[in-house]
Amino acid sequence: MGIKSLLGFGQARDKPVRNYSNGEYLFNFGRSTSGKSVNEMTAMQTTAVYACVRILSEAIASLPIHVYRYKDGGKERVCDHPLYTLISKRIWECVQLEIKRRKKYLEEHGTNAYSHRPESNPFASKIICGDCNKVFARKGWRSSTGVDRKVWQCSERYKVKGVMGCANRHEEEETLTKAYLMTWNALVENREDFMDQWTEQLQSENLLEGYRAEKFIEYTDGAEPLTEMDTDFMLKTLDHIKVFEDGTLLVVFLDGTEIECKNEEK
The pLDDT tens digits for 2-14 are: 444 444 444 444 4
Q: What is the pLDDT of residues 133-184, one digit of tens each?
A: 999 999 887 777 777 889 999 988 877 777 778 999 999 999 999 999 999 9
CA within 13 Å, CB half, 50: 6
The arithmetic mean of pLDDT across residues 199-205, rounded, is 95
The residue ranges of every structural domain in the chain are 3-61, 118-262
Measure Cα distances from 9 to 12, 34, 41, 198 in Å. 9, 21, 24, 45
Measure Cα distances from 244 to 60, 213, 217 in Å. 45, 28, 30
| pTM for this predicted structure | 0.69
pLDDT value at residue 67? 76
Measure Cα distances from 228 to 48, 150, 177, 185, 189 in Å. 26, 17, 9, 11, 16
8 versus 212: the higher-pLDDT residue is: 212
Confidence band of 20 (pLDDT split at 50, 70, 90):
very low
pLDDT value at residue 165? 85
CA angle 254, 151, 124 (to 5 degrees): 35
Is the model's pLDDT at 89 over the cut of 60?
yes
Assign residue 150 a region (left: φ > 0; alpha: ψ between -120 and 50; beta: otherwise): beta
